[in-house]
Amino acid sequence: MKGFLKGSATAMITPFTETGVDLEAFGEMMEYQIANGTDALVVLGTTGEPAVMTDEEKTTLMRYAVKKAAGRVKVIFGSGSNCTARAVKASVLAESLGADGVLAVTPYYNKCTQQGLYEYYEAIAGAIKIPVICYNVPSRTGVNLLPETMARIADIPNIAGIKEASGNMTQVLETARLIRGKCDLYSGEDALNLPILCAGGTAVISVVSNLAPKEVKSMTEAVRAGKLTEAIALHDLLLPLAKACFTEVNPIPVKEGANLLGFRAGAPVAPLTRLEKAHREQLASAMRDLGLIK
Answering whether pTM is above 0.85, one says yes
pLDDT at position 18 is: 87
Determine whether 186 is an active site residue: no
Adjacent-strand bridge partners of 21 = 16
Contact criterion met (CB below 8 Å) for 121 and 136: no
Choose the catalytic residue: 58, 68, 74, 163.
Answer: 163
Determine whether 217 is an active site residue: no
CA 35 to chain centre: 19
Distance in angstroms (rounded) separating the CA atoms of residues 73 and 88: 24
Please classify residue 227 by burial: count the beta carbons closer than 10 Å to its beta carbon, then call 0-12 exposed, 13-18 middle and 19+ buried: middle
Per-residue pLDDT tens digits of the chain, which is 294 residues long: 999 999 999 999 999 998 899 999 999 999 999 999 999 999 999 999 999 999 999 999 999 999 999 999 999 999 999 999 999 999 999 999 999 999 999 999 999 999 999 999 999 999 999 999 999 999 999 999 999 999 999 999 999 999 999 999 999 999 999 999 999 999 999 999 999 999 999 999 999 999 999 999 999 999 999 999 999 999 999 999 999 999 999 999 999 999 999 999 999 999 999 999 999 999 999 999 999 999
pLDDT at position 19 is: 87
Contact criterion met (CB below 8 Å) for 65 and 43: yes
Choose the catalytic residue: 32, 120, 121, 135.
Answer: 135
What are residue 164's phi and psi, to 5 degrees? Answer: -100, 120
pLDDT at position 11 is: 98
The pairing of strands 7-11 and 203-206 is parallel
